[in-house]
Structure 1
Amino acid sequence: MERSVECTIRLAREDDAAAISAVILRALRETNSKDYTDEIIERVGRSFSREAVLQLIGTRTVFVAVIGSRVVGTASLDGSVVRTVFVAPDVQARGIGRLLMAEIERTACARNIPSLTVPASVTAETFYARLGFNAVRDSYYGDERTIIMERVLDDPS
């Protein structure tokens, strides 16, 4: 049974970078490690240092999910590609990822983006499928498998 939680979604600020990095690294190590080797987790983790996240905030539309004053999740939109969707392990399966994705979709629709693509981890494939994304193809970066998934957005007209 999913317990929903009082959660606010807002645009990330530069001073959120350390907290976003911490959420991503915890989720990688505690959740994604079931589906990926330690080497892959460490390699991916190096891409999400505080400094790297700070750069992403400057180049993508980055959202955070906040409970109280704690950043518990993040998702970003890079053109029509959904990237870096992570929720802290202790609050997963409470609807936070769904709230983040709803904000991504609203933003995409406002920008007249017709469809979204997400390079889903093996870990997150069923999450995206439940949100209406369809697997298009597998993609490999060395031995790291991701599933490229797409969803056509509803035409608001």
Structure 2
Amino acid sequence: MSTSEISLRPAQETDVWVLSAIHIAAIKALPPTFYTQKELLAWRNYLDNPDGSNILKSMKLETCRVAIKGDVVIGFASFIVDELIGLYVHPKYQGKGIGRALVQHFCDEAIDQGIDKVFTTASLYAEGFYLRLGFTAIQRAPHYLRSGVVVPVTKMSKILAIVPT
């Protein structure tokens, strides 16, 4: 599959259940390398089945883009102005450039708004991915999940090249 087979569009309310399913599947696919099983379970909000209302507690549809192959949603990114809040790709489609396309879209949106630096909070699993996309690590920090469980993450930033018009 090439990224030319993928399109991005704004998320819609009808997407929330599949977004929740992707979130759960992506976390379930992670090995307990950096986080314990208890932490991974808390990260997916103790869910085994999708809950669309739950995912809307952590993101707004207006600032969420979904990646689609054909008519199937296979990944999504949520952002607020200069911060990428969440990025998830279904495990079946990981490693195929979808995450990269979603991050590039976020960066392009920021550039269009005149923003020259963006931020994200990366899980320890995703740190290398963001480094390959030009982000730099700022610091390790605690991240407080809704359940109260605290996990280590890496605060990261990327300077964007704004082309003068």
Please give the TM-score of this superposition, normalised by the length of structure 2.
0.85
Deviations 1:66-114 (A, max 9, x none): 1111111011111211011011101100000011011101111111222
> Identity of aligned pairs, percent?
28
Q: 2:142, 2:29 → 1: CA distance?
A: 22
The Cα offsets for residues 15-60 of structure 1, whole Å up to 9 and x where unpaired, read as: 10000110011001103644321211121212984113234234x5
User: Amino acid of the residue matched to residue 39 of structure 2?
Assistant: I
AA aligned opposite 2:162: D
CA gap 1:73/1:33 in 2 versus in 1, 3 angstroms: farther
Q: 1:86 and 1:120 mapped to 2: Cα distance?
A: 11
Q: Gaps (5+ residues) in structure 2?
A: 144-148
Identify the residue that residue 152 of structure 1 maps to in structure 2. 159
- Is the partner of 2:156 in helix, strand or coil? strand
Residue aligning to 2:125: 123
Do residues 57 (structure 1) and 60 (structure 2) align?
Answer: yes
8 Å contact kept, 2:11–2:66: yes
- Matched residue, 2:26: 27
For the residue of structure 2 that corresponds to 1:35, the secondary structure is coil
Bigger helix fraction: 1
Instruction: State TM-score, norm by structure 1.
Output: 0.90
Distance 2:41 2:29 in 1: 12
1:79 aligned partner, one-letter code:
V
> Which 5+ residue runs of structure 1 have no aligned equivalent?
none
- How well do the aligned residues superpose, as a CA RMSD in angstroms? 1.9
SS at match of 2:21: helix
